[in-house]
Structure 1
Amino acid sequence: MKDTFKHRGMRNKLADVLVEKGITDKNVLGAIKTIPRHFFMDSSFEGHAYQDKAFPIAADQTISQPYTVAFQSQLLHVKPGHKILEIGTGSGYQTAVLLHLKAKVYTIERQQELFKKTKLFFGKMGYRPKKTIFGDGYKGLPEEAPFDSIIVTAGAPEVPRALMAQLKVGGRLVIPVGAQDQIMTLFYRKSLKEFEKKEFGSFRFVPLLENKN
């Protein structure tokens, strides 16, 4: 696949749509305008790549709606050099947005088919997360903790305690919580024992499954 002027024009229009929906972070919008989302999808869906919709990818998973990616990224308050744990690599599109924001990304995927495909894709495209891991996202990555931010890209029926524990004081956990529709939830770690919680409305994600492996 190629990235053409037409694709770039469609990305600019997509960014305009996201602005209308309330995305204000210029760096996040810059990532949306820059990253060729059609590369992360099956070529048969290329014509849909710059619509603000989720679409199927391998292993019965989806590439998230661009608004959702931008909204979660904006909530993270990413700064260059931030150490971020991503639960649910998926297509790799959210990973690419975080890398564009100059974060150090550690990403975990539980679906082996998707893990292999996306890891190969990262190498081919020159995307370089710090680590791409096949494993159980519920457990996080304790050997690399603490993290400046943690982002979960699948719906969790409850917030995994391991992820809360792996967050720095001053860090942010962005996670969709709920069984059917999920509530986008931000946890800000104020101290070792105290978290501030904010909720941001209803979203829909594929489920975060425990002990898959």
Structure 2
Amino acid sequence: MAWFCSGSTNRELVENLYREGLIKSERVKNAMLMVDRAHYAPSNPYSDSPQPIGYGATISAPHMHGHACEYLLEYLRPGARVLDIGSGSGYLTHVLARLITDPSAENPAADADGHVIGIDHIQELNDIAIRNMRKSDDGRKFLESGKVQFITADGRKGWPQGGPYDVIHVGAAAAELHETLVQQLKAPGRMFIPVENAAEEGGSGSMLSRLGLSGGQHIWVVDKRADGSVHKEKVLPVQYVPLTDAPKR
């Protein structure tokens, strides 16, 4: 179904995803309508498929961005703090910023201290993400207000300086469910993370091995509840590029 949602414009793409139930919320639909994928995908921007953006990275298929926003939506309130790991082109970082901003506010900075931090270990991708966001008035306002920032660092370690986070989104497949990211979640807070289960086979000390799970990549939704307890749920089989070290120069 997802592969039949492509369009000739951003609006047609998003409307198709909404009609097919891959986007369920009006909030997510409206946020994606406000961020033109043509500013972020160098080719076939309105195809519902992943697209290469250089440096071994991709921009995920639009339906996966829709899924991520839907799973995280409960925690994407005005003023929320969000960490977008593996931010790549900057597309989802921009959509997340729209979701934590009151659309009736003239100044995006008005929503308390909420912000979205995009983190990638490749400086060139962060440079591209900033250029992409500057293609629209909306994106420029987010950058200039500090509502959106891009940091070059190892996303597997998170970015504690901007937390704790209501939401952590991970846009590349992790070798494990990194405990340091769970620690940077607020209580309550939620993380959406693809995990390479096969990498956990034989790793008796890892979190997933203790759960008795292995094989393939899956999206995990990790909730830190108000009392600090952590609940994990495996929700979707996926195929993401790996969350790895920065390439050697």
Q: Shorter-chain TM-score: which interval?
A: 0.7 to 0.9
Runs of 4+ in 1 over 4 A off after TM superposition: 210-213
- Counterpart in 2 of 1:112? 123
Q: Does 1:69 align with 2:104?
A: no
**Counterpart amino acid of residue 39 in structure 1:** H
- Counterpart in 2 of 1:169? 187
Matched residues in 2 for 1:104 and 1:28: separation? 17
Matched residues in 2 for 1:192 and 1:163: separation? 17
Deviation at 1:197, TM superposition (A): 1.4
Distance 1:202 1:123, change over 3 A: same
Tell me the percent identity. Answer: 31
- What CA RMSD, in Å, does the superposition of the two structures yield over aligned residues? 2.1
> SS at 2:233's partner residue?
strand
Matched residues in 2 for 1:140 and 1:151: separation? 10
Deviation at 1:51, TM superposition (A): 1.5
> Could you list the per-position Cα deviations for residues 36-60 of structure 1 after superposition, in whole angstroms to 9, with x for gaps in the alignment?
1011122xx1xx2112111110212
Alignment of 1:47-196 (within 5 A): 48-77=44-73, 78-101=76-99, 102=101, 104-123=115-134, 125=136, 126=140, 127-128=142-143, 129-178=147-196, 181-191=216-226, 193-196=228-231
Give the conservation status (yes or no) of the 8 Å contact 2:72–2:191: yes
Distance 1:79 1:14, change over 3 A: same
Whichever of the two has the greater Rg, that structure is: 2
Select between 82-91 and 175-184 the one with higher mean Cα deviation. 175-184
**Counterpart amino acid of residue 41 in structure 1:** A
- Counterpart in 2 of 1:209? 244
> Could you list the per-position Cα deviations for residues 55-86 of structure 1 after superposition, in whole angstroms to 9, with x for gaps in the alignment?
11021211110000111011112111110011
Matched residues in 1 for 2:33 and 2:62: separation? 11
Matched residues in 1 for 2:227 and 2:86: separation? 26
Give the conservation status (yes or no) of the 8 Å contact 2:174–2:194: yes
Deviation at 1:116, TM superposition (A): 2.1
Unaligned stretches of 5+ residues in structure 1: 1-7
**Counterpart amino acid of residue 116 in structure 2:** V
